[in-house]
Structures are given as C-alpha cells and as structure tokens.
Chain A
C-alpha cells in the first residue's frame, strides 16, 4: 500500500488490525490501531480505557451516523470503496466534514483509482490508500485536471458572488468558485 496525501507519498503510522487481535500498548507495538465498526461496537469501553489513539474503518454500507457520538475520538476514519462504482463514501465524507465537523484524516481505502482522486478530495477525503502494484505517477496531475468548480463542496464551502453579467474568473486564493 502507498499512502497519498496533499504533498505526495506519506508515511503511514497507522496499522489496521483484525477484530480479534489484541490491543494493549507495549504488547503488540501497535500504538495507532485502525479497527472495524464491529470491533468498536463490541469493545468500545475497553478501547477507550486504553486512552490511546484509535482509527476506524467504515464499510460502504456503514454511515457515519452510526458513530455520530464518537466521531471526535478517532484520529483517522477510513472509508472503504469496495468497488470504484460504489459512491456512498463520497456522501459519507461530506457528512463527516460538514455535518459532524470532523477535522482529522479521512482516508479512502479499497478500489481507489486515480480518476476518482479529485472527486474524493473535493468531498473532504485527504488521504488515499493506493493498492499495491499501481503506479503512483500521474496522481498529482489528477488533482489538477480541473481548475474550476461548478458547485460548492468541502474544498469550496462558500461561493463567490459576481454581479449579474460579470464573467466567471479564477482566483488562486479561491480553490474554485461555483457558477460565478
């Protein structure tokens, strides 16, 4: 796996662990585990008692609403895209950012393709896990394939209002602007 962030390939300090793997600091050496929603539901109190950093994976049928009360406890939330055609994660990411004001890392995992990268970033996903064997060339270009935005999203939360008849314009300060 290669982890891709805004500035390029990034080191990954997190480790995904099985539902039955032991989590106890000092025992496994895993200080930043990523667990499943199943595990979180099962062992929530025990995990909280460890008082360490923790991340979670949400499957494409697991809405952030299921962890609404705990969202800020997670240092990373991974959204699984089991198939690139399964687009539920885009809505989940937007909800995490704008509905639940989640500010830590949202990571796309699974069938993450270069051609989805810009859409993902626009929805608030700031880390992409690239499957082994895939070239990481061209990803930076993918983020830049479109310089403009027609609609507000998590990268462009506000719109720029132009006077009627005024042409749209691009402004490096504004990542994009909507219909203006």
Chain B
C-alpha cells in the first residue's frame, strides 16, 4: 500500500495549517461566506440541510486498518457515531462543527488522510477498481497510476479553478469495475500488438442531468505519456469549457459541442506541444510507485483449503455468503471478500464506528492490513486466506455485516437524499430501506440474480440511477415525493444509460412498482440473461404494460 513519505506529510500538514487560518478568517468575518465557499469546498466541506458535511478522501478506495480505526474514532468524537461511504470510494461525516474541522483534519493527517479536493471545481479524488491488486483478470494494479495521478493533480496550480468538478477513474483489467465510462476521464489499461502496456483514454462521460457515455479519445496511450496527456486534456477543458452555466460546464458538454473529432484534434495538438516534457514518466518513477503496491507476502498454497470447503458444505448460511460475496483472487487459496453495507432495511453505505473498528481489526488480522471501499458503497477485504474465511464471516455476522447480497438487487446505491442534502427533491434512504426489506422478505433475491438498482434523490444523479438496470429518480410533484423509473442502464462493460419508462410513482407506490418490473423481468427472462439483456431483447413494452396497463 502507498505510504506517505516526508513530502506527502509536509503537504498535508501545511494544508491543515492553511485551512485552520482560513477557518479563523471566516469566523472573524475577514472572509465572506462567498469567498470562504470555494476554499472550504477544496477541503471537502459542504454546507448541507442541517449542518456542515465533511468528505474525506480515500485515494482509489484503499485504506489500512489503522486508517479505518481513525475513521471510527472521528465518527465517535466529531460525529454521531457513524459515517457514510460514498459512490466515490470516500467517506462523509454529516454532523461536524465548523470550529472542530481543523482538529478533525489534524487527526486525519496523523494517519496520512485528508479532505483535499474531495469537492470544488478541481480534479477530484481519483477512483479505481476496488479489487485492484487482487482480481484474477487484471494486467497491472491500476493504483500505481491512480497514485501518480493523485500526486500530479494535488493542488495543481493551473487546474484548481476549473469550469466544474473533474473525475478520473482507472482500471487495470479488461472487465471494468470502476464505471470508467461515466467519468470525465476514464483510463483502461490495454496491451498493444507489440506487447506494450498503456491506456485507452475515454473522455466526457458523466451522469447528472445530462447523462453521457464517455467516448474514446485515444485507443492506446503509452504509460510514459499518461500525465502529459491528462495535462493536455485539462488545459483544453480549462480554456474552452463553458463557465456561463453550471449545468453546461462539465467536459461532456464541451466534447458534445465540439464533437469528438474536433476535441481529439485540440487535445492532440496541445499534447504535441508538451509531449516528452517535464511530465513524461520515467520508467524508474513508475517502478518506484509500483513498489508501494507490490503484492503482499501470500502463503503459497497448492489447492483450495479443505476445511473451508467442508465448512461450506455443512453451514448453509456461510456457504450462501461465500457464494454471493466472494470473488476469485489471483492467488490460489485466497479470496476477495465483500462486506455488504446494505443490510435489509439499512442505510446504504452507512457504517457505525464499532463496525468500522471490526472491519479494521479483520483487515489487520486477515487481509494484510488492507481494506477497500467500492463505488457501490461496500467494503472489501481484498486478500483473505480461504482458511480464515469462516472466522471472518463469524465476526462480521456478529457485527451485523454478513448480509449476503453483493451485486444482488438489494445491494442498492443510494445518495443521501432529502434526509441530508439541500439539493434533493425526495428522500432516497427510506425508499432504499423499504425496497431492500421487501426484496429480502420475498426470498427471491438469488432467483432474481445479479441486478443493479440505484436511487437518486434528484436530477444531479449522485445515486447513479442512470447507470442502473433499474434506476429510481426522486422528483417533486406539487410538493409530494414521486419517483421516476429508468430501465436498462449499465455502469460497466457495455455502459448504457437507462431509459425513462413512464410517469412517476408516489413514495407509497414505488416499492410495488419495482416489484412489478422484477416480475416482468422474471416472466420474460431466458436462460442466464441479466436484466439488461432481457430488456435489450424485449424492449420497454412489456414493462410499460405491466406498470401502466394496456392503454
């Protein structure tokens, strides 16, 4: 895992000092709220409905046991005993006091953490495949490159007042688990015919009120040119992106207005000017960062663990959890274990301080001191020996964390919604709670199979509803909460945007409507089809008829 050196420590300490000064100037009235706003936003501090909200960066979703313990400690001391893991692999605290923030940041800095660039019109925390370094299909660990991007983009003097926020995602595997085509820039490692590795660069993806799938800007970019090329894209965007309308300021709108050919030409021309310059990545710098992500000291195991297999045969609940929540690890005898933060009736992504401590402890004991946060708002123990899985499962089960539903329909992504957010039109959390309860009680989750169901409380789409097979969007209809259903979205390979199926449903009716959609899917599904495939084959009509009757 990446460890801060003196350089990183210095920067974070200086940032805390700077922000302490800014808070003092705000509290004394020297800074107006308008002037303070972009400064606090560059430190992840939002003003929400009821209180300030602080968003803490978890670079590419990787953290150590010690760091997770600190997040728990902060939840107890500065919040109300819990935290909320987000779709950007970060954590949010919903109830800190402004005057406490500098001390909170000092606590974070003690474990190499911060809130730099988790908000504001800057390059945000770079996200990555949550199974990086463990997945059995990856070419290289994408965190090496995410870390290089983190360093390059941190307090970038030219790109700290962009037209709008800017999100970059990286994957090192052919199967996209980072939703790269829904980011401003997505990077997917590729190998060319000469056997060299580089990146496919996609640009202009995003959600919000104008959902767009990113388009390919470069089919193959040598690793050496990665940061130079990113600088060229950002410079073109910084100069040409719209600044007159916040809703048209993302890079996706610029790419749409120029067209991908013209945009490519602009970027390539700028890249041509700076190629091979100070940002070219020498092999030894890539090697230096790679060393931080060297594989842990796995035990060399020659076969699957016999006791683990026996336990799966005798304990049905354990077997179910293993079947649903484990992913194959590249190292024989190990597994990637997802810990679901989506218990039936729970708040998606929330964890209590005690739960964080337990996950931290398990990581230290059983997963080489590593944890991951997924954009689907779950936690991962990336490297667990099969022989330890039963012990891990027993402990998380006792902590209410053994929900066996990863990637199933109750593994819902939801934004904080009207319970917290001053942008929301409708609540997301109670809808997620009602749907997960209903689906769990129906006993059909496994029968339905893998299915992405996401909920956003407003058109800003923080709950990724566009990218869901079943997406729910909260809308305000004459002062009442209603929910529009979109169907057929897909966040990852074959990325797609969901299509609105018809008029929205009331808060009371939406759970039943979701069940109707699922019934229709099951009634029409052919062998092995995922929802998106059935949808692609039969189209909207059967769903419309089931939801609205034949008109």
Interfacial chain A residues near B282, Cβ < 8 Å = 161
> Would you call A113 and B35 a contact (CB within 8 A)?
yes
Q: Within the assembled complex, what's the spacing in Å between the Cα atoms of A152 and B280?
A: 11
Report A-chain residues with C-beta under 8 Å of the C-beta of B39: 115
**A99 interface contact, C-beta 8 A:** yes
- Docked Cα-Cα span, A152 to B152, in Å, equals 9
- Cα-based distance from A169 to B239 in the complex (angstroms): 34
Main secondary structure on chain B at its contact with chain A?
A: helix
Name the contact of B22 in the complex, choosing from A115, A122, A162, A163 (C-beta under 8 A): A115
Task: Check B14 for interface membership: any CB of A closer than 8 A.
Answer: yes
Q: Which of A105-150 contact B (CB under 8 A)?
A: 113, 115-116, 118-120, 122-123, 135, 145-148, 150
Residues of chain A lying within 8 A (CB to CB) of residue B288: 162-166
A67 interfacial contact with B, CB 8 Å: no
The verdict on A37 contacting chain B, using a C-beta distance below 8 Å, is no
How far in angstroms is the closest Cβ of chain B from A13? 28
> How far apart are A2's CB and chain B's nearest CB, in angstroms?
17
List residues of chain B with CB within 8 A of the CB of A122: 157
How distant is the Cα of A179 from the Cα of B121 in the complex, in angstroms? 23
Q: Please, what's the 1-or-0 string for A50-93, where 1 marks a CB less than 8 Å from any CB in chain B?
A: 00000000000001000000000000000000001111101110
Q: How far is the CB of B230 from chain A (nearest CB, A)?
A: 11
A84, A91, A151, A157: most-surrounded residue (chain B CB, <10 A) = A151
Contact A88 B278 (CB under 8 A): no
Cα distance A122–B154 in the bound complex, in angstroms: 14
**A178 on interface, CB distance cutoff 8 Å:** yes
Residues of A within 8 A of B18 (CB): 145-146
Q: Which partner residue on chain A sits nearest B238 by CB separation?
A: A91
The CA of A84 and the CA of B38, in the complex, are separated in Å by 9
Contact check, A119 vs B10: say whether CB atoms are below 8 A apart. Answer: no
Taking the nearest CB of chain B, how far is it from the CB of A61, in angstroms? 9
Closest CB in chain A relative to B34 CB, distance in Å: 10
The count of chain B contact residues (Cβ–Cβ below 8 Å) is 44
B235 touches A91 (CB 8 A): yes
Report if B445 contacts A (CB, 8 A).
no
A159 at interface, CB cutoff 8 A? yes
* B160 contact from A87, A157, A158, A159, Cβ within 8 A: A87
**A87 pairs with B162, CB closer than 8 A:** yes
Give the residues in chain A near B151, CB-CB below 8 Å. 150-151, 178-179
CB <8 Å contact, A147 and B14: yes
CB pair A164 B284 closer than 8 Å = yes
Cα A146 to Cα B158 in complex, Å, equals: 15
Q: Is B284 a contact of A163 with CB atoms below 8 Å?
A: yes
With known contacts A84-B161, A165-B288, A168-B5, A157–B14 Cβ distance under 8 A? no
- A150-B17 in contact given A157-B278, A168-B6, A169-B6 (Cβ < 8 Å): no
In the complex, which of the residues B11, B14, B121, B158 contacts A90, with contact meaning CB atoms closer than 8 Å?
B158
What is the distance, in angstroms, from A93's C-beta to the closest C-beta of chain B? 8
CB–CB A86/B7 < 8 A: no
B155 contacts which of A146, A162, A167 (Cβ < 8 Å)?
A146
Contact with B7, one of A84, A148, A159, A165 (Cβ below 8 angstroms)? A148
Given A88-B238, A91-B158, A91-B238, list of 15 further CB < 8 A pairs?
A85-B243, A86-B243, A87-B162, A148-B10, A150-B153, A150-B154, A151-B152, A151-B227, A151-B279, A152-B277, A161-B284, A168-B6, A168-B8, A179-B151, A180-B7
